[in-house]
Amino acid sequence: MKIKMWLASVMLGCSSMLTNAAVDIDKQAPDFSLTNTQGEQVSLADFKGKTVILEWTNHLCPYVQKHYNSENMQDLQKSYTDEDVVWLTIISSAPGKQGHVSAAEAVKLTEDRNASPSHVLFDESGEVGKMYAAKTTPHMYIIDDSGMLRYAGAIDSIKSANPADIAKADNYVKMGMTSLASGEELQYKKTAPYGCSIKYKS
């Protein structure tokens, strides 16, 4: 009994060391620099003074398809980039894993789906995804014009792959952006993301 307890507590000690709180809501969002489809380096710091939305994606994930095939994601991208918001679509799928695409494929996907992100960024090493504790595709983040992380979580409130649920759900990104625009506190700052696990390298 004693030994079991001791082992358990050692394990617990280890596990708590491993869980690193990388990002915090209402704290400065950590900077990162990734390559876009044109082969240019894009950093968060490039967009000082602008609101930035991060979208983790994997075009083969049914939950991503739910939001793209229904045009829900494109609508969000369009309406916010029109308002001078920066929309960064990030792919953290490692080479050989589901959702990993070449720059050319990414450009084609954007065209085919009529999407309008400001940039599509590649995070093959998964470093940025892990820094932001991105778990699923989609996983959404809102960073305000002062560089503070204001929202992290699910795109909306109904966890399903069924596009019919989109209309019934509360869209957390929309709600967050609306609150931000009116200077109010966000009602939902952090929610449990839903979707496919991000296919990280390890």
Partner 1 sequence: MINHIKLSCLFLWLICFHTVAEPTARNTDQATQPHIQVRLVSEFAQLKPGVNWFGIWLRPDPEWHTYWRNPGDSGEPPKIDWILPEGVSAGEIQWPLPSKIPIAHLVNYGYENHSLLMVPLTLSDEVKYGATLDISADLSWLVCKEDCIPGWATLTKTLKVASDHQPSAQAGLFDEAREQLPDEVVKSARYEITDNKVVLQLNELLPDGDWLLFPFSSSILNHAGAIQHIETAQSSTFVGAKSDYFTPSQNSLRFLVSDGQTGFYVKAQMNNAVAGEVLQAKNVSATFTYTTILVSMAMAFIGGVILNLMPCVLPILSIKALSMQRTSQSTAVKLAYASGVLVSFSVFALIIIAFKHSGSTLGWGFHMQSPVVVAALAFLFTFIAAALFDMAPAGNRLAGIGQGFIQQNGFTSQFATGVLAVVVASPCTAPFMAAALGVALVSSDMITLAIFLSLGLGFALPLSVLFWLPGLTRKIPKPGPWMSTFRQFLAFPMLATVIWLLWVFGNQTSPMAMMALLGGLLILFFALWLYRRTQRTFAHVAALMFAVSGFLVPLFVLTSPSTDSQATTLAFNKQQLAALRQDNQVVIVNMTADWCITCKVNEQVAFTSSAFTQALAQPQVHYMVGDWTNKNDEILGYLNQYQRSGVPLYVVYAGEQSKEVLPQILTPDLVVKAITKAVNEVNDEN
Per CB under 8 A, residues contacting partner 1 are 1, 5-6, 8-16, 19, 60-62, 69-71, 75, 97-98, 130, 133, 135-136, 153, 159-164, 190-192, 194-197, 199-200, 202
> Residue 71 burial (CB < 10 Å; 0-12/13-18/19+)?
middle
Give φ, ψ of 52 to 5 degrees. -120, 135
Give φ, ψ of 83 to 5 degrees. -90, 20
Instruction: State the nearest-atom distance from the C-beta of 54 to partner 1, in Å.
Output: 16
Instruction: State the nearest-atom distance from the C-beta of 167 to partner 1, in Å.
Output: 9
In whole angstroms, give the CA distance from residue 168 to residue 190.
20
Q: Considering the complex, state which of residue 107 and residue 133 has its C-beta at the smaller distance from partner 1.
A: 133
Q: Considering the complex, state which of residue 37 and residue 72 has its C-beta at the smaller distance from partner 1.
A: 72
In whole angstroms, give the CA distance from residue 181 to residue 131.
27
Query: Sheet of 119-122: strands edge to edge?
Result: 41-43, 33-36, 119-122, 86-91, 52-56, 139-143, 149-153
In whole angstroms, give the CA distance from residue 166 to residue 188.
18
CA–chain centroid gap for 73, Å, is: 12
Instruction: State the nearest-atom distance from the C-beta of 123 to partner 1, in Å.
Output: 14
In whole angstroms, give the CA distance from residue 199 to residue 188.
26
Q: Considering the complex, state which of residue 19 and residue 182 has its C-beta at the smaller distance from partner 1.
A: 19
Q: Considering the complex, state which of residue 46 and residue 71 has its C-beta at the smaller distance from partner 1.
A: 71
Q: Considering the complex, state which of residue 49 and residue 202 has its C-beta at the smaller distance from partner 1.
A: 202
Instruction: State the nearest-atom distance from the C-beta of 113 to partner 1, in Å.
Output: 12
Instruction: State the nearest-atom distance from the C-beta of 61 to partner 1, in Å.
Output: 7
